[in-house]
Amino acid sequence: MITGLMKKIVWALIVLICFVFPLSAVAAEHVLVIDPAHGGKDAGVKLSRTVHEKDLTLAIARLVEKNLSNTDDIKVRLTRLDDRDVSLAQRRKILEESNADICISLHVNAGFGQKAEGYEIYYLGAAIPSAQKNNSGEILKDMEQTRRMNNSVLLAQIVQKEIGMVFPRKGRGLRDAPVSLLRSLTMPAILLEVGFATHIKDRKKLRDTKVQKSVADALTRSVKKYFLTNGAS
C-alpha cells in the first residue's frame, strides 16, 4: 500500500513539474514596439485631401495592436497612440524603456517618379567592425551587432513574404540603409514603406480600410512567426 501510494505521489509531482509549472510560471513574454511614423504637425506624405501618412500608419499600428491584444506572450507598445508630435529622440526613448524585442516602423513612400510603386523594407546593416580585436568588450559588441542585424534580416524576410501576399509581385526588395530611427537601437528593427503615395493605384489601395486590415494581419502573422522561429530574439 505504501509503495503504491508513493509511486502515485512521485508521478503526480512529475506531471506538476513537467507540465503545469513551465506553462504557468516561465511562459515568455515578448515585446513588440510599433512606430507609426509622423504625427501632429508632421503629417507626412498626402494620400488625399483629408488623409495623410500619419493617419495611415497609426491606423495600421492600431489594428496590429488589436490583433495581438489577446495574445498572452506578446505585448504591444506604440510610439504614439494618437495624432501628436513625437520626436525621434522620444521614439528611441520609448523603444529602449519598453525593453522591446523587436521594432517595426511604418511609413508610406513617395518620390522616384509617379511610376514607382510597391513596398520596401529597410534594416540597419552591420556596423564597421572594431579595430581593437584584442579587446574582449569590443569583440562582444561586434557579436551583438551581428546578432541584431541577422535578426533584423530574419524579421524583414518574414514581413516581405507576408506583405507579398497582400501586394503580389509589388515587392521592391530588402534594403540595407542607415535609417535614422534604427541607429543605436539595441533590438532587431525594420522600417516598412508600405506603398507609394505618389502612385495613383497605391494611393487608392492604402486608403481602403480592407487593405489596411490586410496589411495589419500580415504584420501580425509576421510577428508571430518571428517569435516562433526566434523566440529568444
- The model's pTM is 0.83
Domain membership flag for residue 6: no
Residues 6+ apart with CB under 8 A from 180: 88
CATH number of domain containing 158: 3.40.630.40
- For residue 20, the model assigns a pLDDT of 46
Per residue in 207-228, pLDDT (tens digit) is 999 999 999 999 999 999 999 9
Residue 147 has pLDDT above 60, yes or no: yes
Say if residues 223 and 74 touch (Cβ distance below 8 Å).
yes
| Residue where the block lists cell 499600428 | 61
Q: How confident is the model at residue 14, as a pLDDT?
A: 56
pLDDT over 70 at 189, yes or no? yes
Q: Is residue 9 part of a domain?
A: no
> pLDDT band at 67, cuts 50/70/90?
very high
What whole-number distance in Å separates Cα of residue 52 and Cα of residue 40? 11
Average pLDDT over residues 144-167: 94
Q: What is the pLDDT confidence band of residue 146, given thresholds at 50, 70 and 90?
A: confident
2 occurs within a structural domain: no
| Predicted local distance difference test score (pLDDT) of residue 183 | 85
Range with the lowest mean pLDDT among 17-31, 181-195, 208-222?
Answer: 17-31
Could you tell me if residue 135 is inside a domain?
Answer: yes
User: Between 137 and 216, where is the model more confident?
Assistant: 216
- Indicate the number of domains in the chain: 1
pLDDT score recorded for residue 171: 96
On average, the pLDDT of the chain sits at 87
**DSSP codes joined into one string, 7-59:** HHHHHHHHHIIIIIHHHHHS---EEEEEEE--BTTB--SBSSSS-BHHHHHHH
Is there a domain that residue 113 lies in?
yes
Is residue 20 one of the residues assigned to a domain?
no
Residue 144 has pLDDT above 90, yes or no: no
Q: Does residue 51 fall inside a structural domain?
A: yes
Q: Which domain holds residue 224?
A: 28-229
| Residue 197 within any structural domain of the chain | yes
190 close to 219: Cβ distance less than 8 angstroms: no
Mean pLDDT, rounded, for 109-136: 79
> Per the structure block, which three cell numbers stand in for 110?
513617395
